Every structure is written in structure tokens, then in C-alpha cells.
Chain A
Amino acid sequence: MKSLLPFFYLFLIFSNINAQDKPYNTMAVLVFESEGLGESERDSLTNKFTAELKKTQSARAIVSQEVVKEIMDERRLSDEVCTNESCAMERGKLLGVDHVIIGSIIKSQNWFSIEVELISVDTGSVDSRKSFYTGDPIGLGVEVGLLAWNLMNKISPKHLVEEKADKELEAKLLAEQRAAEAAREARRRLRKAKLGAMLRSTVFPGWGQFKSGRKGWGWFWLGTELAIGGAAYMTFTEYDKAYNEFEEIYPNYNASTDHEEIAVLKARAIKVLDEESAANDQLLMIAYAGGAVWVANIIHAYVSGQIPEQSAANKSGFHLVYNPELKSPQLRFYIALD
């Protein structure tokens, strides 16, 4: 502090000579509170704001960020971000300025918000407050710069306004690109989920449907296959019984030398043979039915695919959205009508 403060005060004396028309005397920007930003990004945005603030020529002197940081470091206050008026007053007195600017930046994936306050160190009152919310953080740097001009109630420079328009266009293109990528990803995931469901149902009927969240269908296919399996087992039991009975009768028929016994054994053998054949035909039919149901289950697993994960979430909920007409954030409540 000792090394930089004399220069700062010397600067104040010189700037006082030709800056009588400036609305504010001395001013400092404290490091903004941030959410969703890295420390370096936050500092960079604070610096950007300070730089633009200087360009507005609204104050006779603005303490540079290096000085602010050095003083805060000396007081071991650099880790504490100022978020209220009393803190701002305290820091302003430490820095020896009339006004202090505190602010917050919240950055999310698809939106951001910035809010800045100009606080009088003497009274602790908020002289000016500006906030901004937009849909895409791609123009965050530009908006920080514009906010400096807005806070000082000055007309924004043309290059910043143009830059903002460029950023908006860039954001729009990026949003379209992201939407296309998201659609591609959704298609890929859907295809993968369908193939997964198909493979599972190939291994075990209904498994793919269970995994896809279609439990009703899962039970249906599993139940159908189990019923067919049960019928197949019962028919096989009949076949097996007839087979074994024939194995018992036929040698007796061949060994018999009594005409009557031969006739009786032959009649029984033919009856059993018919039963064996009928059971075999039925078994064959059941096997085909089982196979057809299995194939249908596989096809169904692929065609129906997975129940979209977001469906449940889409039933109802709240969203924070940006309304471009009102130029303000809105809380949106929605319910599914399907």
C-alpha cells in the first residue's frame, strides 16, 4: 500500500484540476461476488468493468484493481467478497474513496445475471443500481462493459453496442449448433437405448422392456413366454409318457406269439403312437408360438425403445427464463398435458 498510495493521491491532485464537471470524485470497484465462475474469470470481469468505468469519465479518479487488491491483501481481506452496504462503506474508507461499487455475477450454462451497486461511502446509501440478465453467457464480457456505462447513466459507446449485437448473433448460432448437437446426441442415445433393449429382450423376454421403463410390457412378454413355457412343459410330459409307454409295449408286441395279445398290444401301441405324434405336433406348434412371441418381444423392445428420462420431470415444474420482450427474467411454471 505504501508503494502505490502516494501515486494515487498525486493522481487525484492532478485530475482535480481538469475534472470539475465529473459527477463523482473518487471511486473504487471491489471484486465482484460470483457464482459459476473461476477466480481468474471473476477478476478479469471485474477488471473489464473497472476499465470501462474509467472510460465513462464519471469520476475524477478510480482506484485501479491492482491497488485495491494490494490493500485488501495487506488487510487480509482479499478472500472476503463484499456483498452489502456496510461492508462497502468499511472497504471504501480503507481505500479512501467517496464511492464504492460492489456487484455480483451469476453464470449458468444457458444464462447469466449481473448486478452492480454504486454505494456512497459516507452515507452507505445506494446511489445507483443496475442489473442485467440475458440468455447466453457468451456476451458476458460485453455486458459487464455496458453495465459500467449504464451505472453511470451514460450512453453506451457504439463499438460496445455493436459488439453486443455480434455476441447475440454468435450466441444464437451457438444455441442453434448446440440444439443440433443435442438432437444428434438424443438420436444416438435413443438408437443405443433401442439396441440395448433389443439385446436384453433377445437374452430374456421382457428384460429390455423392464430396463426401458415399460414394466407393463415387460411383464406381458415375460408372462406370455412363461405361459408358453408351461404349456410346452405339460405337452412334453404327455409326449414323454407316450414315448415311454410305447417303449414298454412294442417289445411285448414283438415277442408275443398269441394272436389276441398281439392284437391288443398293437391297438395300444398305435394309440400311444398317435398320442406321441399329437404331443409332438403340439410341442412343435408351441415352440413356434414361443419363438414368434420371443421375436415379437425383441421387435417391440427395439421399436418402443426407452421411455424418455425427462418425461417424469416434464410433468410439471418451474424454470427461470429470460423474456426478451420485457428484458427481464421470469419464473415459468409448466405442466404436461399428455
Chain B
Amino acid sequence: MISCELHEGIFDNPLDLEAAEAKGIYPPALVFFPNNAEVAIQDTVEVEVYAMKIENVGMAQIEVHYEANKLSVESVAQGSLFQGGNQPFFITENDSNSGILTIFITYLGPNGKAIEGTGDIALIRFKPRSMGFTEFRISQESILLDPDANAITLNGYGKGIIDAR
């Protein structure tokens, strides 16, 4: 058949509200950006943890599950969402045996502020340990709290895939 090359038109930007909705993710939600990557085995992959359309958030505890035999966490850096007011408190805890990375971020003291909107909370650098596909996801154990420590219901938890070659 004679035909020109056509684009497939896969619209799967993790921050595309329509695309997220199609995957059952509704705001407020926590997602990865980007949510898929192809890398060489020796390279690292930078993935940001994004809060999607959140309101009145004062603290977050985000649990990222990954396949410990296929991925390792090289580093975790604070994102740009929690800015202003007191210097935010940002710590991480990585259990490389069970493949669980926990990120804590909050404002300390009376001048803590509430944040809203969409933005990156943390930047994770993964390194593939073996070739092939590996998945990582935000656990439903993740918690968002308002400045008065009331829980905010999350409507979506993102997933990501790395294809190491």
C-alpha cells in the first residue's frame, strides 16, 4: 500500500489532565514526570515527583516503590513546589533492599504556609541495575496534609516505566 509516514499521536504527558483522567488519575494526585524513559544501562534517569492540582498542602510524605533488583536510587533532590515562608524541611529515606523510597517535606514553625497548584516536589535520580523494563510507582500510603495536619484525599497515584538497554 502506498502511504506517507504518519505520526501515531500518543498523548500521554503525565500532567495532561485528559490523559491522566483516561488512566483513572484525577486531581489532586501525585505523578511522575516524565513517566517513561529509555536509557542505556550505565546512564541515570531523572524523574520528578509532581503534585497535580493540589490545594492547601502543608506537608507531604511520599512513598515511592521500585524494583530493588532492577533499579537503584542515586540521589533525591528537593523540587520547586515547596518554596517561600520558612525554609522547608526535606528529608528522604531509601530502603534499597525492599525498594521503598520515602520523601518527607514540610514547613516548620508558625510561619509555615500552604501551597497549591501543580509543581515538582522532588527530583529522583534512578540508575538501572539490569536490562529490561522496570516499573516504579507512588504508593497509596503517600500522605498529603494541610497546615493543620488534616489529611487531604488523593485521587491518583502515578506510575513510571524505565526501559534499560
A interface with B by C-beta (< 8 Å)? 236, 239, 243, 246-247, 250, 253-254, 256-259, 262-263, 266, 269-270, 273, 276-277, 280, 283-284, 287
Please tell me if the beta carbons of A280 and B13 are within 8 angstroms of each other in the complex. Answer: no
Chain B, residue nearest A236 (CB): B4
Additional 20 contacts, C-beta under 8 A, given A269-B9, A276-B6, A280-B3? A243-B5, A243-B7, A246-B7, A247-B7, A253-B11, A256-B15, A257-B15, A257-B50, A257-B119, A259-B16, A259-B118, A262-B15, A263-B16, A263-B18, A266-B11, A270-B9, A273-B7, A277-B6, A283-B4, A284-B3
Instruction: Give 25 CB contacts A-B under 8 Å.
Output: A239-B4, A243-B5, A247-B7, A253-B11, A253-B13, A254-B13, A256-B15, A257-B50, A258-B15, A258-B118, A259-B15, A259-B17, A259-B53, A262-B15, A262-B16, A263-B16, A263-B17, A263-B18, A266-B18, A269-B11, A273-B7, A280-B4, A280-B6, A284-B3, A287-B2
- Scan residues 28-60 of chain B and give those whose CB is less than 8 A from a CB of chain A: 33-34, 50, 53
* A276 CA / B3 CA spacing, docked (Å): 12
Q: How far is the CB of A194 from chain B (nearest CB, A)?
A: 29
The one of B3, B34, B119 in contact with A254, judged by C-beta atoms closer than 8 angstroms, is: B34
Chain B residue contacts of A266, Cβ below 8 A: 11, 13, 16, 18
The one of B2, B16, B17 in contact with A284, judged by C-beta atoms closer than 8 angstroms, is: B2
Known A257-B118, A259-B118, A284-B2; judge A250-B7 contact (CB<8 A).
Answer: yes
Q: How far is the CB of B63 from chain A (nearest CB, A)?
A: 22
Chain B residue contacts of A277, Cβ below 8 A: 6
Q: How far is the CB of B153 from chain A (nearest CB, A)?
A: 20
- Scan residues 1-27 of chain B and give those whose CB is less than 8 A from a CB of chain A: 2-7, 9, 11, 13, 15-18
Chain A, residue nearest B17 (CB): A259
B interface with A by C-beta (< 8 Å)? 2-7, 9, 11, 13, 15-18, 33-34, 50, 53, 118-120
Q: How many A-B pairs with Cβ below 8 Å? A: 56
Chain A residue contacts of B18, Cβ below 8 A: 263, 266
Please tell me if the beta carbons of B9 and A273 are within 8 angstroms of each other in the complex. Answer: yes
Most buried by A among B3, B6, B15, B119: B6
Most buried by B among A246, A258, A266: A266
Chain B, residue nearest A262 (CB): B16
Q: How far is the CB of A289 from chain B (nearest CB, A)?
A: 12
Q: How far is the CB of A66 from chain B (nearest CB, A)?
A: 85
Most buried by A among B5, B11, B53: B11
* A259 CA / B119 CA spacing, docked (Å): 11
Chain A, residue nearest B16 (CB): A262
* A266 CA / B17 CA spacing, docked (Å): 11
Chain B, residue nearest A257 (CB): B15
Please tell me if the beta carbons of A256 and B7 are within 8 angstroms of each other in the complex. Answer: no
Chain A residue contacts of B15, Cβ below 8 A: 256-259, 262
Chain A residue contacts of B118, Cβ below 8 A: 257-259
* A253 CA / B2 CA spacing, docked (Å): 30
Chain A, residue nearest B117 (CB): A259
